[in-house]
């Protein structure tokens, strides 16, 4: 069912404004999106920040601490980090921040590529429910959602974002 009170495009604009005002002219800034929703957001952010050459994508499937329980997702995407991570400021982007486990897995994977100077976390929505001490540096909206529901970001062919609530 659609989320009527959460406009994904308006939330994206809020998030983008926060990021642009905070990152300034960091010449070591790179953007890394977590597949899949975070990757869509990261791609648009990188274009706005003129960082298309410092854009990467991570699929954390093999790095999750619940891999044995969840198994391998049917649509695993390859991780692509086409720039030097060493001494970079990484803007790690995800669509929904929930338990913190996906973020932890993404950070672990980033360190396989090098040692960033700094990692900043951006999330379109923070839904609480943290199981690890992880907090976003940039977040467009904080909501409460029952644990048996999940927010799903969609990206239309024209690049516009929308949100829906599904059963977990």
Tens digits of residue pLDDT in 65-96: 654 455 555 566 789 999 999 999 999 999 99
Q: Is 131 exposed, middle or buried (0-12, 13-18, 19+ CB in 10 A)?
A: exposed
**Contact (Cβ atoms closer than 8 angstroms) between residue 126 and residue 155:** no
* 1 has pLDDT over 50: no
Using CA atoms, how far apart are residues 78 and 60, in angstroms rounded to an integer? Answer: 9
Using CA atoms, how far apart are residues 130 and 150, in angstroms rounded to an integer? Answer: 14
Tens digits of residue pLDDT in 7-40: 999 999 999 999 999 998 788 999 999 998 999 9
Q: Considering the chain, what percentage of its residues have pLDDT values greater than 90?
A: 77
Tokens matching residue 15:
């998030």
Using CA atoms, how far apart are residues 59 and 123, in angstroms rounded to an integer? Answer: 16
Over the chain, what is the mean pLDDT? 90
Does the domain at residues 28-67+74-146 carry the CATH identifier 3.40.50.2020? yes
């Amino acid at each position: 069912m659609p989320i009527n009170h959460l406009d994904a495009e308006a939330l994206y604009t809020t998030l983008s404004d926060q990021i642009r005002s905070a990152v300034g002219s960091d010449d070591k800034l790179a953007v890394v999106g977590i597949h899949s929703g975070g990757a869509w957001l990261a791609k648009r952010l990188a274009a706005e920040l003129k960082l298309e050459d410092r854009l990467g994508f991570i699929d954390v499937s093999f790095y999750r601490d619940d891999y044995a329980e969840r198994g391998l997702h049917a649509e695993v995407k390859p991780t692509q980090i086409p720039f030097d991570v060493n001494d970079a400021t990484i803007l790690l982007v995800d669509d929904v921040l929930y338990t913190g486990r996906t973020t932890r897995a993404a950070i672990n994977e980033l360190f396989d590529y090098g040692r960033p100077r700094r990692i900043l976390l951006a999330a379109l929505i923070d839904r609480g429910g943290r199981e690890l001490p992880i907090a976003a540096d940039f977040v467009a909206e904080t909501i409460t959602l029952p644990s048996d529901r999940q927010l799903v970001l969609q990206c239309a062919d024209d690049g516009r974002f929308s949100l829906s609530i599904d059963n977990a």
